[in-house]
Amino acid sequence: MILLLLILIPLLTGALTFAIKGAGAKIFAFISTLCTLAISVFISGSTNGTNLSYQTEWLPELGARFSLYSDGLSGMLCLLTTIVTAVVILSNLNKEVERPNAFYGLILLAQTGLMGVFLAGDALLFYFFWELALIPVYFLCSQWGGERRIQVTFKFFIYTFLGSLMMLAALIYLSIQTQGLRSFAWQDIVAAGNHLPVDQQVWVFALMFVAFAIKMPIFPFHTWQPDTYEQSPTPVTIILSALMVKMGLYAVLRWLIPVLPAGVAYWSGSVIMLSVIGIVYASCIAIVQTDMKRLIAYSSIAHMGLMCAVAFTHTSVGMHGVILQMFNHGINIAGMWLIVSMVENRWGTRDMTKLGGMASSAPRMAIAFVIISLASVALPLTNGFIGEFMMFNGLFGTTQCEHLTMVFAGLGVILGAVYTLNMIQKTTYGETVAMNVAADMSLNELLGVVVIVGAIIFFGVYPKPLLDMTASVANMLVK
Amino acid sequence: MNAIYAATVFGIIMMFAGLLTNNKKIVGALAIILMAGLTCIAGYDIMIAQLNEPQLLYNNMLKIERFSLVFNVLMIGCTFLYFLLMHKDISKVGVHQSEYFALIFFVLCGMMLLSTFNNMLMLFLGIEIISIPQYILAGSDKHNLKSSEASLKYFLMGAFSTGILLMGIALLYGATHSFNIKDFASMLHTEALNPLGLAGIIFLIVGLSFKVSAAPMHMWTPDVYDGTPTPFTAFMATVAKSAAFFAFMRLFHVALIDISVHWVMIIAIITAATLFIGNITAVFQQSVKRMLAYSSVAQAGFMLFAIVAVNAVSWHTVLIYSVAYSVATIGIFSVLVKLKDYTYDGFNGLAKKEPVLAFAATIFLFSLAGIPLTGGFMAKYYALLAVVQMQQGQFMWLVIFALLMAAISVYYYFRVITAMYFKQGDAELTTTVTATDKLLLILTCIIVLILGIAPQILLAI
């Protein structure tokens, strides 16, 4: 029942928000996100590894049920979703947007879709929420984005929609292979997938992987991503990069790796290769960017590439690292975008060649920026470290790819340090006349950043709660 | 089959009502009441029929089956919805309003023959009864050159294709010595396929493809749909087309199902061509009305999935697809008809001016594009399911191709949404939008959403 609340609260409050005129909308939306945050904290805190589920009849003709299911992985991602959405709205409280009721209503609806994706225990329901998460984002980007927003969002939408249709075909194919009555339940899909002959697993895998690769995004399906991140309004960019790309990775872990073991074995070498190409390629492009948003967008491709590569290495420690890193990357990149949006609001530009001297004019912001950046390059004692350490451990322990590939993947870390530190250097230090007049963070922005930095340091020093929560899932995935 | 009589009688009543009054409100109200009556009668037909075993009527001319009756009531229901949403616009087309309504009743009469035919003669009669009123409706805006052109073009091409259809029937008769579709099944599959029979089947495919505007027999569609007065395009593209579709389905899945190996590949290729031409050409249109004409070609491609898939799901597909597609298309046309400028730019800024209209149009376009939670998604879902279920996944190439095309369709449907919501402009309307209009549009949206969440209610009728 409590799982149903996680979906119903954002859905109903999201619909209600449309009706609220004026500034009340954002307060209302904020309260709603706090409620879901409280519930998801309660779920992660109180269940101690027991799995929750909820089921009811939905489409008996098709064998689809409205079934929600939560284990450590789902619980962790719900926690991430609720934290990030709350922080997004919190740090936006002092800003004015056009038509706030529609803006915040759509954000809550996007949250509904995300929650549904992470909780769905039925393939058709999963597909429904997968699309439902996309539609509000389409409207948010097209309406409140930058000047090239319409074409860019269009491209993004068509890309992801095409991917989802491929996934739909694969899911239908799997569902008619289930034993006895047709069914979309996760267990039945897993059983059906495992029974498929190898040649069929190979192409079903290809159909599903395209959908997930577009979402993550994995090279060469990534071309929508930098433009979309750049053109979206920052709150939406945060939702996209911290949460929606995790949908792709989550789907790989939940609906691909357990379902099609032979397909995974057949393709994992290629997937790792593509991911590693993506890491090096995106890192190299990130180094020459001058726009902060584009730099972070490319860095995100590199980080997701690493996670995807490790997800296919089939090692327990690597898998555990990936799951942990999904949470950490979400927190870190949300922090990055928050800082970028503050910079843009204050100095009217994201061009790093025109910025500089943040440390002297806005010291608190600079400190936060440095901490978040260091977490993003995985310095020890930040949350990024433990995840990345485990991932490389897995990558070097695997037999799925050549050692040279791993070396190139490792190169990504070095390149990551190059562009991230370069960004800090250019924006935080040095002197620029334009930087001198600006206020430091306001109270709500400070609170948002404190939550992020707090999470970075807490999980960097003491990652045990997250590790315990997800250990059983990681073991299940490599079994 | 009381509904066939009722449709005929109501059509005649509508025709004579034109003698008594020319008041638009009275004529419109009468049409709506009669259509509501017809819906009830069609529903009553289902109640009294013994659905477990098919009944034969009129010396085996018609065969009443469960799916036929359900299809009838659903399509009559769609026409009722169409009258509710558009009766004012229908009356505005010209001075002979009561005749327009009468013709639509006659089309429904033909539809009921098509959904129950058991004899090729009835197929032919049904096709003619739905076609002739449509030729007249296409030309109903007499002072508009484009409307006359549409009518003439439709008539010439329609007559030609009916000729081909007739030829097919004749050849099939030559092969089987019978007009009864039950005999085809037994006579065609006993021996190696008779060449006359095969030629007849190909002629039938061509003739019926024309009626459902499947490529490459679709050439008439854009010009005719574009030239026809918009309210009638809405009807022609939905109920009339679905009726022809059901006949197609019935002929091939009842009469010729045992020899499906001989025709299924032809239909599959036609399907792929229809999807390709419909979707690709729609992308390049500048007028929304013309885009919808091509989109109706593209949607016919998805409906053809039901014919390709030789299994039980395909009957569900044809029902759900017809209804979902018809409701959404009628809805989007009822929005279009209120606009002055039919180009994409004509929709600019509609969301600011008429939020309800824009919201409803968005839901209908979502449905046409096949976004989940709308009827269109479920329709596409059933279509895919039917084909994926065929043994050894032999038509998976068609499924993948159709999905690529569905992704393209998002492009042109969403262009309208982009224009309404994200572009600045002052979408000019021809009429004021009353509260009733808004209420009806919202109601239609709810129907679309219900179809998307619980499509099984259609199958449970």
Q: Per the CB < 8 Å rule, is B411 touching A139?
A: no
Cα–Cα distance for residue pair A340/A46, rounded to 1 Å:
36
- Band the pLDDT of B243: cuts 50, 70, 90: very high
Helix (H, G, I), strand (E, B) or coil at A291: strand
Q: What are the tens digits of pLDDT across the range A347-374?
A: 878 888 877 777 777 888 888 889 999 9
pLDDT score of B460 more than 80: no
Give Cα B455 to chain centroid, integer Å: 19
- Band the pLDDT of B72: cuts 50, 70, 90: very high
Q: Mean pLDDT across chain B, nearest whole number?
A: 89
**pLDDT value at residue B365:** 93
Q: Where are the domains of chain A?
A: 269-479
User: Smallest Cβ distance to B371: which of A135, A173, A200?
Assistant: A135
Cα–Cα distance for residue pair B129/B137, rounded to 1 Å:
13
Report which residue type is found at B341: D
Q: What are the tens digits of pLDDT across the range A255-275?
A: 999 999 899 989 988 898 899
Cα–Cα distance for residue pair A79/A138, rounded to 1 Å:
24
Average pLDDT over residues B28-47: 90
**pLDDT value at residue A365:** 85
Among A117, A139, A164, A165, the strongest candidate for a mutation testing the B interface, having the largest count of B CBs within 10 A, is A165
Cα–Cα distance for residue pair B56/B58, rounded to 1 Å:
7
pLDDT score of B59 more than 70: yes
Supply A140's token pair: 């948010």
Q: Which residue of B has its CA nearest to A128?
A: B372
Q: What are the tens digits of pLDDT across the range A116-174?
A: 999 998 998 999 999 888 899 999 988 888 888 888 888 888 888 889 988 988 888 88
Cα–Cα distance for residue pair A256/B252, rounded to 1 Å:
39
pLDDT score of B191 more than 80: no
For chain A, how far is it from start to end, CA to CA, in angstroms? 30
A172 interaction partners in chain B (CB closer than 8 Å): 381, 384-385, 388
Q: What are the tens digits of pLDDT across the range A233-247?
A: 888 999 998 899 899
**pLDDT value at residue A117:** 93
Query: Per-residue DSSP letters for A56-121?
Result: EEEETTTTEEEEEEE-HHHHHHHHHHHHHHHHHHHHTTT---SSHHHHHHHHHHHHHHHHHHHHB-
For residues A413 and A378, the answer to whether their CB atoms sit within 8 Å is yes
Q: What are the tens digits of pLDDT across the range B94-149?
A: 888 888 999 999 999 999 999 999 889 999 999 999 999 999 999 988 888 989 99
Supply B389's token pair: 């279920």
- Residue A390, judged by CB atoms within 10 A of its CB (0-12, 13-18, 19+), counts as buried
pLDDT score of B185 more than 80: no
Any bridge partners for residue B343, and if so which?
Answer: B287
Range of the domain at B13: 2-459
Phi, then psi, of A220 in degrees rounded to 5: -95, 25
- Å between A317 CA and nearest CA of chain B: 37
Answer whether B384 touches A (CB < 8 Å): yes
Helix (H, G, I), strand (E, B) or coil at A53: strand
Average pLDDT over residues A82-89: 92
More confident residue, A30 or A478: A30
pLDDT score of A179 more than 80: no
Cα–Cα distance for residue pair A168/A183, rounded to 1 Å:
14
User: Smallest Cβ distance to B373: which of A128, A157, A207?
Assistant: A128
pLDDT score of B325 more than 90: yes
Q: Which residue of B has its CA nearest to A60?
A: B456
Q: Which residue has the tokens 């939408």?
A: A157
CA dihedral B416, B421, B425, B430 (to 10 degrees): 60
In the DSSP assignment, the letter for residue B55 is E
For residues B305 and B384, the answer to whether their CB atoms sit within 8 Å is yes
Q: Which residue of B has its CA nearest to A133?
A: B372
Helix (H, G, I), strand (E, B) or coil at B281: helix
Cα–Cα distance for residue pair B244/B226, rounded to 1 Å:
20
Helix (H, G, I), strand (E, B) or coil at A54: strand
Cα–Cα distance for residue pair B246/B239, rounded to 1 Å:
10
More confident residue, B208 or A355: B208
For residues A173 and B388, the answer to whether their CB atoms sit within 8 Å is yes
Q: Per the CB < 8 Å rule, is B388 touching A168?
A: no
Q: Which of B250, B205, B208 is nearest to B68 (CA)?
A: B250
**pLDDT value at residue A334:** 92
Q: What are the tens digits of pLDDT across the range B209-238?
A: 999 999 888 889 999 999 999 999 999 999
Residues of A with a Cβ under 8 Å from any B Cβ are 59-62, 127-128, 131-132, 135, 139, 142-143, 149-150, 154, 157-158, 161-162, 165-166, 168-169, 172-173, 176, 200, 207
Q: Which of B414, B416, B452, B407 is nearest to B275 (CA)?
A: B407
Q: Which residue of A has its CA nearest to B378?
A: A62
pLDDT score of A430 more than 80: no
For residues A135 and B369, the answer to whether their CB atoms sit within 8 Å is no
Cα–Cα distance for residue pair A356/A359, rounded to 1 Å:
8
Cα–Cα distance for residue pair A73/A85, rounded to 1 Å:
18
A150 interaction partners in chain B (CB closer than 8 Å): 418, 422-423
Average pLDDT over residues B149-169: 92
Domains in chain B: how many in total? 1
Instruction: Determine how many CB atoms are found less than 10 A away from the CB of residue B460.
Output: 9
